[in-house]
Amino acid sequence: MTVARKIEEFIQASSWIRRMFEEGAELKKAHGAANVFDFSLGNPNLPPPPSFRRVLREILEHAPESAHAYMANTGLPETCAAVAERLSAEQGVRVSGAEVIMTCGAAGALNIAFKALLDPGDEVLVPAPCFVEYGFYADNHGGVLKTVPSRPDFQLDLGAIEAALGPRSKIVLLNSPNNPTGVVYPEESLRALGRLLEEKSRALSRTLYLVADEPYRQVVFDGVRVPPLFSCYRQSIVCSSYSKDLSIPGERIGYAAVHPEAEHKKALLAGMALANRILGFVNAPALMQRAVARLQGERCDVAAYRRKRDLLCDGLAAAGYEFIRPQGTFYVFPRSPLADDVAFVQALKKERVLAVPGRGFFGPGHFRIAFCVEDAVIENALPAFARAIRRR
């Protein structure tokens, strides 16, 4: 075998979204793209805010000759400072530019945090359902992903987290708003989790870190507020990107920020800066760093995602589906009408509807619908969703 055995195994483990994408391509070839309703990919379909193009033009027109050169692995000082200023207001804790590292998206931020923190065999605990690639990120650095069940409403089960914490635990990873469920963890849960981690850190004689993956922080609905992690626990790291709020996922720009009162902050920041280089990222894209420094607080038309959510959820409810109405993101995670979520996704496929089985997110018995699509796709798919549940 030419490909490493582990990569072969990973290909199989990560195959659900890829498989649905490939099957969708075949369906579109056979029936025409307009007659296939593809909800498989979480690829933002809204344009960036108009300010994004304006800022890019201004940067390109006035950029110095050194604009595209290497820089410190942590990023441009002015960009780190701009991010820190916004984070200070958002987190309720004063953050400086020295505590921010610009990265190649939220995935790059998570990887440098894991690289700096994990020894071989250390565990990363994450509430399930969750994004499948977290397991690959942990494995990249010798860690082990350990999923922890959530409550039936997909909120944190603190008892399950407490039971799962042990001598090899190092990181608790949270994604809120959550992919694939769309739930937001309330502040009281985060504060209770912070107290639990303080107690367990003392009992285990090792620092337990809370890492937040927050690329959907700005994509929330109905006045929902995403609580500040830094106000809930000092040993914490926030990882995020501009992929969803600015609708620029292909530009690969994000950041990691370390709590200014973290106990081992100096060593952690040094390790993450080194990891940015030795993992091959070197530094975040220079042009995008200059752009986002001037776009703090800007976001795409989130009201359009709310409209899509309501259109889809109202139609699914009328058809008889059971689900938690998402508070954020552009996903809904209904209960599968069949015990076998793969079988139901195949039934949807017969109606030319593409979704992803919940087991692809450690959430068997459900399926994920990504509603970041044109309104017409949702409208035209609703009769197909209704037929599929009737024929189960």
pLDDT digits (tens, 9 = 90+) for 79-122: 999 999 999 999 999 999 999 999 999 999 999 999 999 999 99
Question: Mean pLDDT over residues 203-214, rounded?
Answer: 97
Ranking 4-13, 295-304, 366-375, 377-386 by mean pLDDT, the lowest is 4-13
8 Å CB contact between 177 and 215: no
This prediction's pTM: 0.96
Residue 1 has pLDDT above 90, yes or no: no
Give the residue, 18 or 242, on which the prediction is more confident: 242
Residue 15 confidence (pLDDT) = 62
Closest to 383 (Cα-Cα) out of 37, 42, 41: 37
Q: Which of the four CATH numbers 3.40.50.300, 3.30.450.20, 3.40.640.10, 3.30.930.10 does domain 50-293 have?
A: 3.40.640.10
Asked whether the predicted pLDDT for residue 235 surpasses 70, the reply is yes
Which single residue is written with the structure tokens 């109202």? Answer: 314
Can you say how many angstroms the Cα of residue 113 is from the centroid of all Cα atoms in its chain?
Answer: 15
Give the strands of the sheet with 254-258, arranged side by side: 100-103, 254-258, 236-241, 209-213, 169-175, 123-128, 144-149
pLDDT in tens, 179-201: 999 999 999 999 999 999 999 99
Question: In this model, does residue 305 exceed pLDDT 70?
Answer: yes
pLDDT given for residue 14 in this prediction: 67
Backbone angles phi, psi at 175, to 5 degrees: -130, 105
HSE (side-chain half, CA atoms, 13 Å) at 137:
23
Q: What is the pLDDT of residues 317-331, one digit of tens each?
A: 999 999 999 999 999
Both tokens of 326, joined, read 């998402």
CA distance 383 to 273: 51
CATH of 5-48+300-390, one of 1.10.1130.10, 3.40.50.1110, 2.60.260.20, 3.90.1150.10: 3.90.1150.10
Task: List every span in the chain annotated with CATH 3.90.1150.10.
Answer: 5-48+300-390
Q: Name residue 374's amino acid.
A: E
Residue 316, pLDDT above cutoff 90: yes
Quick check: 276 and 101 in contact, CB under 8 A? yes
- Separation of alpha carbons 164 and 252, rounded Å: 33
Q: What is the pLDDT of residue 7?
A: 85
**Higher pLDDT pick, 322 / 41:** 322
Overall average pLDDT of the 9-29 stretch: 74
pLDDT > 70: percent of the chain:
98
Alpha helices in 242-301 (DSSP H): 265-278, 286-293
Report the chain's mean pLDDT, rounded to a whole number. Answer: 95
Per-residue pLDDT averaged across 352-372, rounded?
96
284/155 Cα distance (integer angstroms): 33
Question: What confidence score (pLDDT) does residue 223 get?
Answer: 96
Q: Tell the residue number behind the tokens 């296939």, with chain if given.
A: 36
Residue 32 neighbours by CB under 8 Å, 6+ apart: none
Residue 32: pLDDT band with limits 50, 70, 90:
confident
Interacting residues of 52 by C-beta distance below 8 A, sequence separation 6+: 246, 248, 291, 295, 298
**Helical H segments across 130-264, by residue range:** 133-140, 158-164, 187-204
Q: What is the pLDDT of residue 13?
A: 67
In the chain, CATH 3.40.640.10 covers: 50-293
Q: What is the DSSP string of 301-327?
A: -HHHHHHHHHHHHHHHHHHT---PPPS
Q: How confident is the model at residue 27 (pLDDT cuts 50, 70, 90)?
A: confident
State the pLDDT at residue 148.
98
**Residue 346 pLDDT grade (very low, low, confident, very high; cuts 50, 70, 90):** very high
Average pLDDT over residues 35-47: 93
pLDDT confidence of residue 356: 95
Can you tell me the mean pLDDT for 163-180? 98
Peptide bond preceding 129 in cis form (omega within 30 of 0):
yes
Distance CA 113, CA 319 (A): 43
d(CA 109, CA 102) in angstroms, rounded, equals: 8
> Max CA-CA distance within the chain?
64
pLDDT, position 367:
98
Distance CA 363, CA 149 (A): 9
126, pLDDT greater than 70: yes
- Closest by CA position to 245, among listed 180, 175, 184, 298: 298
Which whole number is the average pLDDT over 328-341? 97
| φ, ψ at 243 (rounded to 5°) | -65, -40
Cα–Cα distance measured from residue 20 to residue 8, given in angstroms and rounded to the nearest whole number? 18
Gap between the Cα atoms of 215 and 238, Å rounded: 10
What integer is the mean pLDDT of 251-279?
Answer: 97
